[in-house]
Amino acid sequence: MSSRLLGVNRSRTFSWGTMAPSLLARLGTFFYVVHPNSTTFRTAEEVPNYTNEAVPLFIAFLILEWIVLRAKNKKKNMRTNDVLTSVGHGIVYEVIGFVIRGTTLIGYEWLYKHRLIDLDWDSPAVWWLAALGIDFGYYWFHRAAHEVNIIWGAHQVHHSSEDYNLSTALRQSIFQRYFSFGFYHPLALLGVPLPAMLVHQQFNLIYQFWIHTELVKDCGPLEWILNTPSHHRVHHGANKWCLDKNYAGVLIIWDRIFGTFEPERKDEKIAYGLVTQPQKFNVLYLQVFYFRAIFEKALSMPTWGDTFRALCYGPGWVSGTPRLGDPSTFPDVTAPRPKYDPQLPLWHEIYVVVHFVAILIMQQVFVAQYATFSWYTVLMFIFFLLVSVGIIGAMYDGWWWAPLVEAVRCASYVAYAKNYPVTSIPTLDSAILAYFAMSTLLWTSQSLSVVQATAKSSKLQ
């Protein structure tokens, strides 16, 4: 796949020896405080991977939020198991998306050749038109993700956290972007070139990171114009009054115009998560589990018409009700409600955190060195990262086969990394290799214990 289709500038991806662009410039992308001249590009190849450049700041803000919540004695608002699950979704989303970035905009350049308005690519009008157009398109796509069941099957992942903190923003679906096909294409006919689209899609996504927090209570007059933490907290609520509200990306004006705005209620606490909350932390399971429910519902319908409606009407629709279902029949979720919160022994918790840091390092290495990898290496990296993220959730969920898979995962890394350095930093490579070697021994021992216990149980029966 060409770099033009990927829409990233490889020279600007994260590397271990540089912090360019400046910290201030990276911080500006979080609040859409960027200059049009410095973020306008002639070709798609020149467009930086702003999302990946923001990763170090994502982590820094997560740590800062954790410190503040601990100081306020609100550590239950940021649980380790939930944070690791959310960040794990972010790793999977970015790795998969990096390889196939731009596929949702196939056909965009063809439409641009038939544009109705001819604007200079470096015109400020193009920059502002792209910013507004992307945000408007995002509103309608996001609304569709809540009102069309098959798209909700992908989007529900983002709502599956029972906590509301900055890590929740990273809980993204690997499938959702494909359903966005066509929502942004009309901008091509208005003269918005592909590079501008790629820039503002990233800015729109990055902006939404900081609104996932309970620490910012009110933004004053900005509440009338911008999407803020207060507005977005409502969107993440499972309370009946929160459902299908506040779809905005950057500008809340779209919700005000189209009747989907709901202000936060100061006298009613929000219960975060899904109406029917899955009791799992496994990232891969959470990405796909709802699709099974959708298709079971569709197959249970007595007519082809109802089968279609089960797929394309709202998640709450049942036969004989309006398109989005009958709200009076929806469960009335209220806070507080018990959270799914399995705990690991302290040594095990430290283990998964250290391995999670190693996974983050490998994800950054993958992005930085992707252009030099063969497709075989790319697939191997993706598979390893998927298993790595999935196994952490499986450990929290208590899946019996987790120790065996972890032993195989660690042994596989040792077999590969002893001959092929991963990070190109010898000291770091040696440290990670040694840690994986010790982990292999630990989980091989744990696996044997599981096998022996299973065999003993079988004999007793």
Q: How many CB atoms lie within 10 A of CB 457?
A: 9
Q: Find the radius of gyration of the CA atoms of the chain.
A: 23
DSSP line for 426-457: HHHHHHHHHHHHHHHHHHHHHHHHHHHHHHHH
Closest Cα to residue 8, out of 38, 46, 40, 55? 46
Q: How far apart are CA 431 and CA 320, in angstroms?
A: 62
- Rounded to two decimals, the pTM is 0.88
Spatial distance between the Cα atoms of 212 and 84, rounded to a whole number of angstroms: 16
The confidence score (pLDDT) of residue 450 equals 63
Nearest to 166 by CA among 28, 29, 60: 60
H or E stretch including 377?
A: helix 375-397
Question: Using an 8 Å Cβ cutoff, are 148 and 316 in contact?
Answer: no
Strand partners, 237: 272
First CA to last CA distance, the chain: 56
Between helix 346-369 and helix 55-71 the angle, nearest 10°, is 160
- Domain residue limits, the chain: 3-258, 346-453
- Answer yes or no: are the C-beta atoms of 31 and 228 closer than 8 Å: no
| pLDDT value, residue 456 | 53
Position 454 scores a pLDDT of 59
Given a contact cutoff of 8 angstroms between Cβ atoms, the answer to whether 151 and 145 are in contact is yes
- For 228, the token pair is 């803020």
Q: Cα 124–125–129 angle (5° rounding)?
A: 120
Q: What are the 10-residue block averages of pLDDT along the chain, 461 residues in total?
A: 37 41 84 92 91 89 93 85 95 82 81 92 93 97 97 96 96 92 94 94 96 95 97 96 96 97 94 94 94 95 95 93 90 91 93 92 84 85 92 92 92 91 86 92 83 54 46
- In 3D, which of 380, 378, 359, 376 has the Cα closest to residue 423? 359
